Amino acid sequence: MKLYDYSGVIHFHSSYSFDGRVPVEEIIKAADKNGVDFLMLTDHSTLGARRAGLEGWNGGILLVVGQEVSPRFNHYLAFGINEELIIDETDTASNPQGWIDKVKELGGIGFIAHPDHEGTEMFHVKHFPWRDWSVSGYTGMGVWDFMTDWQSTLKGLPSALAGYLFPAYVLNGPRNITLKRWDYLNRNGRVVGIGELDNHDTPRKIFGLTISIFPFKRAFRFIRTHLLLDNPLSGEGEGDIDTLLKGLKNGRAYIAMEYFRAAKGFSLSLSDEDDEVTMGDEFSLKGDALLDVKIPERGKIRIMQDGDVFAETIDKEITCKISRKGVYRAEVYLKVRGKYRPWIFSNPVYVR
């Protein structure tokens, strides 16, 4: 199966956002220096970057302008919409089903943002979890959020300093509660998993010095979402944005922490004599089928079925016989300095 792999960053904030400060043009330059293919901007309650004419191709970077719907809790990332959804950031009684429905009505797609965010009391970062799981109609959810993961490691000044200097070494990967919920939801439908950055380039005072947490040229080295497309992007902005959003909606995606090793070259396929599918696809099981996962460098590969470990190996490839229905996805851990660290988390294939 020939697919085209594009690496991008979802969920970050620019100077158009009330809590951002970096112009979009500078963010695009940082992405270009880091080999990012596409960016999905999510400023709070505004599509200002689109009105400024910045959406589309900017050199070799495709910018998609969405927004983060952000009341006190239940934040939602919306893409493919042409008008803002304005909700008071102090509102604790709003109905998230309402803005999920509104995004669909506007022809867009949406993702539950940082669902298990806890913040960090030490640095006065509020918690912003998703609280209403009775909702339906959303496209997907954040599975691995850089800020949620990184902030969870800040237990004191020494750990904060180590985490700031060497963030890739303290990341723990997606939270277990998040993965378990995602697996459960996928058993009853389709919930696309994405990686989030949630970077603002926020200034903080530490030991009397003002430092940036994190500059985009640094932040773009961490968590990305890869989209797999049937055809290469054409270079035509509006059509390519539609293509990206369609691929994302269909779950043709995997999440990767790119600091130690680029993830391009990862593949997951399920096949029998008649058919071959990949992440996000449904597969009709007629007998035995083969699930094959390849990674670009030797690592620990774990195949998950309905949230449980189905198979595991340390290698560059694993092939498993599939003989019963379920939701199958892959996790990959890369050995760095004697420790297996979280690297790749795929969207599932759905064996019906």
Distance CA 213, CA 51 (A): 28
CATH class (in words) of the domain with range 4-257: alpha beta
Q: Do 248 and 227 form a contact (C-beta atoms < 8 A)? A: yes
For the segment 84-110, the average pLDDT, to the nearest whole number, is: 89
C-alpha to C-alpha distances, 181 to 95, 140, 325, nearest whole angstrom: 21, 12, 19
**157, pLDDT greater than 80:** no
**87, pLDDT greater than 90:** no
Tell me, rounded to whole angstroms, the distance of Cα 348 from its chain centroid.
14
CATH 2.60.40.10 in the chain, residue ranges: 267-351
**112, pLDDT greater than 70:** yes
Residue 156 has a pLDDT of 79
**126, pLDDT greater than 90:** no
**155, pLDDT greater than 70:** yes
Residue 123 has a pLDDT of 66
pTM above 0.85, yes or no: yes
For the segment 116-133, the average pLDDT, to the nearest whole number, is: 85
pLDDT, one tens digit per residue, over 257-286 is 999 999 999 999 999 999 999 999 999 999
- What band does 93 get if pLDDT is binned at 50, 70 and 90? low
Residue 40 has a pLDDT of 98
For the segment 44-67, the average pLDDT, to the nearest whole number, is: 97
pLDDT, one tens digit per residue, over 193-219 is 999 999 999 776 666 667 778 999 999
CATH 3.20.20.140 in the chain, residue ranges: 4-257
- What band does 34 get if pLDDT is binned at 50, 70 and 90? very high
Distance CA 49, CA 17 (A): 10
CATH superfamily of 267-351: Immunoglobulins (2.60.40.10)
Type of residue at 17: S
Residue 212 has a pLDDT of 79
For the segment 98-107, the average pLDDT, to the nearest whole number, is: 96
Q: Which among 82, 85, 89, 138 is positioned nearest to 109, based on CA atoms? A: 138
- Residue percentage of the chain with pLDDT more than 70: 97
Residue 332 has a pLDDT of 98
**325, pLDDT greater than 70:** yes
**Mean pLDDT score of the chain, rounded to an integer?**
94
Q: What is the 3 state secondary structure string of the chain?
A: CCCEEEEEEECECCCCCCCCCCCHHHHHHHHHHCCCCEEEEEEECCCHHHHCCCCEEECCEEEEEEEEECCCCCCEEEECCCCCCCCCCCCCCCCHHHHHHHHHHCCCEEEECCCCCCCEHHHCECCCCCCCCCCCCCCEEEEEEHHHHHHCCCCCHHHHHHHHHCHHHCCCCCCHHHHHHHHHHHCCCCCEEEEECCECCEEEEECCEEEEECCHHHHCCCEEEEEEECCCCCCCHHHHHHHHHHHHHCCCEEEEECCCCCCCCCEEEEECCCCEEECCCEECCCCCEEEEEEEEEEEEEEEEECCEEEEEEEEEEEEEEECCCEEEEEEEEEEECCEEEEEEEECCEEEC
